[in-house]
Amino acid sequence: MNTEELKKRIIRLKKDKKAIIIAHNYQIGDIQDVADFIGDSLGLSQQAARVKEDIIVFCGVHFMAETAAILAPEKTILMPEIKAGCPMADMITAEELRQWKHSYPGRRVVCYVNTTAAVKAECDICCTSSNAVKVVNSLDGDEILFAPDKNLAAYAARHTRKKIIPWDGYCYVHNTIRAKDVREKRALHPEAEVWVHPECRPEVIDIADKVLSTGGMVREARATQKKVVIIGTEKGIIYRLKKENPDKDFYPARDQAFCSNMKKTDLKKVLRSLEEMVHRVDVPLEISRKARGAIEKMVAI
């Protein structure tokens, strides 16, 4: 089957099976085209819990599907590509977090949602890139442990009086965007505004016009009067930004800002996932219960 035939088959099959396809902003354009919902990791997981359909095909990386399974344990969460992981999420294990907490007794622990379910179960509260500052400021104590992204921790530290002790993790895509990349793109597009993700290096944050989560970028793209924007995040989001805002131009801050794991999912794998009901993602009950508590504390504030 060619691309259009695959899309038609997927759309027909998801209707027959009463399934929903959700896709992260970094997924390839073909996947976004067949998705019912596109968004960031937590937003998609919350959407999975809200919809009436019982079968959710999650096009993203593994920790995201886990989060959906935590928030919607009664539903069937399928990943078309089970090997699509997140290197940053894998930079800390539950055992490493337990040992780290032991070295800093009494400190509260904030875990980015970009972590495994087992790690979430070991933290006090989760955060997203858009609410990290609010979450940190909501906690008691002058020192906070923050895992796993040191760049997001550094960004949050700019906006709080608390001392943030970061884990030495990072998103390899955002961490490879350098200030020189931004300056070079600005030289090519001097009229452009620069938006970067909070997972970027501090040197990149310093020269950006706006610091936004992926969801924030989608909203700002609709609202801004700017016609040219340089985007400092994984370049897959530009497909959505251009599709929703055809009168505006978007350019990646770094042409190689590319997450290979996000690109492992394709139409053939989505079709197979629906046909064969693979690959199901489940989270053990005790881990799910603890991790859900950390997520719900975040949502509550």
pTM here is 0.96
Q: Range of 54's domain?
A: 3-85+262-282
Residue 301, pLDDT above cutoff 90: no
Task: Show which of 107, 141, 170 is a domain's final residue.
Answer: 170
Mean pLDDT confidence for 241-258:
98
Residues 184 and 138 in one domain: no
Residue 31 included in any domain: yes
Question: What does the pLDDT read at residue 172?
Answer: 98
Mean pLDDT confidence for 14-22:
97
Give the number of domains in the chain. 3
CATH number, position 133: 3.40.50.10800
Residues 103 and 131 in one domain: yes
Q: How far apart, in whole angstroms, are the C-alpha atoms of residue 18 and residue 280?
A: 16
Residue 291 included in any domain: no
Tens of pLDDT, residue by residue over 163-198, are: 999 999 999 999 999 999 999 999 999 999 999 999
Q: What is the mean pLDDT of the chain?
A: 98
Residues 81 and 94 in one domain: no
Q: Would you state the torsion angle of the CA atoms of residues 155, 260, 23, 19, taken in this order, to the nearest 10 degrees?
A: -140
Q: Which residues contact 204 (CB under 8 A, 6 or more apart)?
A: 177, 178, 179, 182, 196, 232, 253
Amino acid at 104: Y
Mean pLDDT confidence for 217-243:
98
Question: What does the pLDDT read at residue 164?
Answer: 98
Residue 20 included in any domain: yes
